[in-house]
Amino acid sequence: MSDAAIRPKIERASLAESLKTRAPLALVPALALVGFLAIGSFPTWVTLTVAGLAMGMMIFIMASGLTLVFGLMDVINFGHGAFVTVGAFVGFTVLAWLAGWTSDPSILINLTAVFLAILASMAVTGLLGYAFERTIVMPVYGSHLKQILVTMGGLIIAQQLIIVIWGPDAIHLSRPEALQGSFIFGTALVEKYRLLAVVVGLILFLAMSYVLNRTKIGLLVRAGVENGEMVEALGYRIGRLFLGVFMTGSALAGLGGVMWGLYQETITAHMGSEIMVLVFIVVIIGGLGSVGGCFIGAMLVGLLSNYAAFLMPKFALVSTIVLMVAVLMWRPQGLYPVVKAK
Amino acid sequence: MSEPLLALDGVHTHIDQYHILQGVSFQVPAGGVTMLLGRNGAGKTTTLRTIMGLWHASSGAVRFDGRDITALSTPDIARLGIAYVPESMGIFSDLTVRENMVLAATAGTMDNSRLDWIFELFPPLKTFWDMPAGNLSGGQKQMLSIARAIVEPRRLVLIDEPTKGLAPAIILSVRKALEALKETDTTILLVEQNFSLASRVGDTVAVMDDGRIIHTGEMAELAADRSLQERLMGLSLEAHQ
């Protein structure tokens, strides 16, 4: 038999297949366009769009860790919200200590205070993630029902501990001086803090994309999401990878908690469990385990929530659920499902 | 026969309530190819997975180069120089061919001369170097799976049914690769249903049935003895051709 007989050949994807693969990428601009046509006023649309993107970015920050944890470790972590709450409270504590910095008119000093608050929150929630994975999650690998039960239990314990430490009342978390107020672009008002949230979210997304696509650790995570057993057979200790991803996911939830707390300007012991509904919707829309899908899902949820709240306030209450149902009817596994080895 | 590189001694493996391996004992001499043959469900894949630590033996011992590896974890076993090519190929579809190879090169960067040797064995891998592995055909995925196992020098390569479901041209390519690998220091334990290929590349053989080893010996002797083939596997070599 000649070598010509085994000449490599790959079939070119048909136009329909290409469109099917790339269609989710068009959803965010399509929704923004529909929003523009429905709202009719350019300045209002700009304000709502930036608000939607900011909200989406913050949800993405919280959801990205959860989707990676699910994809890689097959762990449904209902306790993820605890890290959001702890992050917000640690951030509040640091900002309270740095009250002089947050009231300073210098934006540089304000941003340094926020940066330190974020750093402290990520460190605390990362370490908390370590303890959570070792004591609560590790014994229930492979059993979804037990995972749901023990992580819910972990969430409740964390909430009660927060009440013990910081008290049961809602706490006002004011934004630093330079992050209050809005920029005016023409006749459009854009809140300064929302712009910061968009920038932080974009930086995180680009950093995650770089790590996942350009580094060996990222390759291992992507490979582990698909086939953890084969990663072990290549000589890598997937347990350490699990722990690292869980700690990173927890730290990102802590970052999201600080950002969300500053966005809402009020923090409570239950804020994490409340936001988790949106976080789970985003993870499901994106496709379990997919960071790219999670990013698109978060943008869609953020934009739709803001457009709906302006156009049809009653519909806004169910808009994200309707979005999830619509996406799942179109793609039952989510926008970019991760193919896992059986 | 040279000293065994790998030895299984009375290995029992349970998967849930099922008792799959029931006292498997055989040896894999250093160098050359040892065939592990048997009917579907005989326990061949379980044997490879038990050696690799993916399923742990409930009793008995697996020794590699004289060292007991029965209780070692899979990554520790892999780092002893044992590579595994599963029946499912275990390709990371979302990663490119290059990324699959990079991950397999656990010691560090890939050696260019070894990579050239692999490209000679499997030319499509060079062509599709930066393509997602999920886009490859079944045969090309098998090539990648084997290439990944040999991207660095290994002492033992466990290969599970590499020709299953492949076109004859690809089987030829896989056979050439196995023959080329035989020329190196690498020892191969090969599970294969294709008796024709087994008789061409195999040096020694172990035949399994119902979770036990029922025959060991030289592959050439089994290939030449039709009645033994029929007795052990229910079919002769001629029936496979």
pLDDT tens sequence across A68-90: 888 777 888 999 999 999 999 99
Residues B139-165 have a mean pLDDT of 93
Chain B residues touching residue A233 (CB < 8 angstroms):
52, 54, 74, 78, 83-84, 86, 90
- CA A39 from chain center: how many Å? 27
Whether residue B203 is contained in a domain is answered as yes
Is the predicted pLDDT of residue B239 greater than 50, yes or no?
no
Cα of B92 to nearest chain A Cα, Å: 6
A189-199 pLDDT per residue, tens: 889 999 999 99
User: What pLDDT, on the 0 to 100 scale, is given for residue B231?
Assistant: 81
**Chain A contact present for B80, CB below 8 A:** no
pLDDT digits 0-9 by tens, A166-189: 999 999 998 998 889 899 888 888
The percentage of chain B sitting over the pLDDT mark of 90, rounded to a whole number, equals 66
Q: Predicted confidence band at A288 (pLDDT cuts at 50, 70, 90)? A: confident
Asked if B94 and A338 come within 8 Å (Cβ–Cβ), the reply is yes
In tens, the pLDDT along B175-189 reads: 888 999 988 889 999
Which among A6, A235, A342 is the nearest to B169, CB-wise? A6
ipTM of model = 0.91
Chain A residues within 8 A of B52 when measuring between CB atoms? 233
How does residue A1 score in pLDDT terms, banded at 50, 70 and 90? very low
User: Which residue among B78, B137, B172 sits closest to A234, beta carbon to beta carbon?
Assistant: B78
B97-104 and A216-233 helices, crossing angle to 10°: 70
Evaluate whether residue B144 is within a structural domain: no
Shortest CA gap B88–chain A (Å): 9
Q: pLDDT, tens digit, for every residue of B21-72?
A: 999 999 999 989 999 998 888 999 999 999 999 999 999 999 999 999 999 9
pLDDT at A272: 93
Write down the pLDDT at residue A10: 52
Tokens at B21, concatenated: 């391996």
- For A41-63, write each residue's pLDDT tens digit: 999 999 999 999 999 999 999 99
- Please give the Cα distance from A275 to A320 (Å, whole number): 12
Mean pLDDT for the stretch of residues A209-224: 90
Whether B241 maps to a domain, the answer reads no
Q: Which of A234, A237, A241, A339 to mutate to test the interface with B (most CBs of B within 10 A)?
A: A234
State the average pLDDT over residues A243-252.
94
Q: Which of A230, A241, A242, A290 to mutate to test the interface with B (most CBs of B within 10 A)?
A: A230
Distance, CA of A25 to CA of B194 (rounded, Å): 46
Model confidence at A5, pLDDT cuts 50, 70, 90, reads very low
Strand B156-160 and strand B187-191: pairing? parallel
Whether A2 has a pLDDT exceeding 60, the answer reads no
Q: Is residue B176 part of a domain?
A: yes
Is the pLDDT at A224 greater than 50, yes or no?
yes
- Residue A329: how many other CB atoms lie within 10 Å: 8
Interface test with A, best of B16, B45, B55, B74 (most A CBs within 10 A): B74
Q: A339 pLDDT exceeds 70?
A: no
Kindly indicate the confidence band of residue A12, based on its pLDDT and cuts at 50, 70 and 90: low
Question: Distance, in angstroms, between A235 CA and closest chain B CA?
Answer: 4
- Give whole-number Cα distances, A173 to A96, A123, A124, A274, B15, in Å: 9, 20, 19, 18, 55
* Closest residue to B94, CB basis, from A222, A236, A238: A222
Which residue of B79, B95, B170 is in closest CB contact with A219? Answer: B95
Burial degree of A70 (CB within 10 A; 0-12, 13-18, 19+): buried
Identify the CATH number of the domain in which residue B196 sits.
3.40.50.300
Residue with tokens 């808009």: A319
Q: Flag whether B138 is in a domain.
A: no
CB contact under 8 Å between B169 and A1, yes or no, is yes
Domains and CATH numbers, chain A: 48-330 (1.10.3470)
Counted domains in chain B: 1
Domain presence at residue B21: yes
- The domain of B66 spans 4-87+156-234
Euclidean distance between CA atoms A153 and A150, whole angstroms: 5
How does the average pLDDT of chain A come out, rounded? 90
Question: What's phi and psi for B176, nearest 5 deg?
Answer: -60, -40
The pLDDT tens digits of the residues spanning A96-136 come to 999 999 898 899 999 999 999 999 999 999 999 999 999 99
- Does the structure show a pLDDT above 50 at B85? yes
